[in-house]
Structures are given as structure tokens and as C-alpha cells.
Amino acid sequence: MNFLRSASSLALRPSSHILTRRAALPATSFAVRHLSDSTKKTIEDAITQNKLVVFMKGTPQAPQCGFSRAVMQILTVQGVDMDGALKSFNILADEDLRNGIKEYSSWPTIPQVYINGEFVGGCDIMLNMHQSGDLEKLLLKEGLIEPEAEESPRA
């Protein structure tokens, strides 16, 4: 999947009009440098050491936003081990992380899902991939869910 690979390189090459705006505006949002070295390390350690990381509002047990809740519901329906396989960060409890992850992913909204170190997307993309079957394929490939016996002759 090409777009999974392209996420990190895109983050380094913002389009020219964003660059212009960065220069022109005061520090108010994700487009401006919030990302400290320590926050960057927290993010990089999290996404390299865990197959599935979700940056969300609230916790998997008590999401504080409908979009974060929807992502938890999708992962639950897919059969992900929500206690063992999922690493989540409550960005409401960490302002540095909240701003840092937006800049790191070059993506202005929360939740954000990382699988095997790659930015997969937010709620809309997770929902689209869930409906198309692409999410199941990806989760299977990364060993985050077990194949269902009747649907997978190779199992």
C-alpha cells in the first residue's frame, strides 16, 4: 500500500503554500513547530515498539470524543486484543503530545492510528478501510488479529 509508505515522507515535504503560511503566522497550530526532541522520541519509541498505536482523546475504556470512540469500536469489532495489542495515548492528558503528534504526522486532527510504525489515518480512513476490507487485511498481515478458520484456507 503506497499511501502508507508516503505518510512520513510527506511530513517532511509540506506543500509550498503551507511553508509560506508557516512563515507568516504566529505560533497557533499544528503547522508551527511544537515538536520537542523529547516528544518526538516518545512518539518514535511508541510507534516502533508497538504494532498498533492510537493517539486519542480519553482512554479505550472511556473515550472523550466520538471519533476516538468510533476507532475503538472498529478495532474491537475487528477482534484486536484491546488490552494486549493496543497501545494508546490520551492526548488530553499531555498538551505537548497533543500538539506534537499533529506536527509529527502532518495531520491536524485526533485520533491518529499507527500500525507497524506507519501512519494509517484518522477516523474516516479507518472507517473506510473497515468497510472495504483493507483494514482486516492489514491487521492480519501485521498479526494483530487471527484469521478466521472458515475464511482463510491457509490458516
Partner 1 sequence: MASQQEGPLTTSIRTTLTELLKPEALEIINDSAKHAHHSAMRGVDSKETHFRVNIVSEAFAGKSTMQRHRLIYGALNKDFEAGLHALSLNTKTPTEVAKASEA
Nearer to partner 1, 30 or 89 (CB): 30
d(CA 36, CA 104): 10
Q: In the complex, what is the shortest distance from the CB of residue 108 to partner 1, in angstroms, rounded to a whole number?
A: 5
Nearer to partner 1, 16 or 84 (CB): 16
Nearer to partner 1, 18 or 155 (CB): 18
Q: In the complex, what is the shortest distance from the CB of residue 155 to partner 1, in angstroms, rounded to a whole number?
A: 29
Nearer to partner 1, 10 or 82 (CB): 10
* 135 closest CA partner among 55, 70, 84: 70
CB 69 within 8 A of CB 61: no
Q: In the complex, what is the shortest distance from the CB of residue 91 to partner 1, in angstroms, rounded to a whole number?
A: 9
The residue with cell 512520513 is 8
Chain residues that interact with partner 1, rule: CB under 8 A:
2-4, 6-7, 10, 14-15, 17-18, 21, 25, 28-31, 57, 64-67, 92, 106-109, 121-125, 128
Q: How many CB atoms lie within 10 A of CB 23?
A: 7
Nearer to partner 1, 80 or 120 (CB): 120
Q: In the complex, what is the shortest distance from the CB of residue 32 to partner 1, in angstroms, rounded to a whole number?
A: 9
Q: In the complex, what is the shortest distance from the CB of residue 40 to partner 1, in angstroms, rounded to a whole number?
A: 20
Q: Please name the helix (run of DSSP H) or strand (run of DSSP E) that holds residue 135, with its range, or none.
A: helix 134-141
d(CA 44, CA 3): 19
d(CA 106, CA 87): 21
Question: What is the identity of the amino acid at 40?
Answer: K
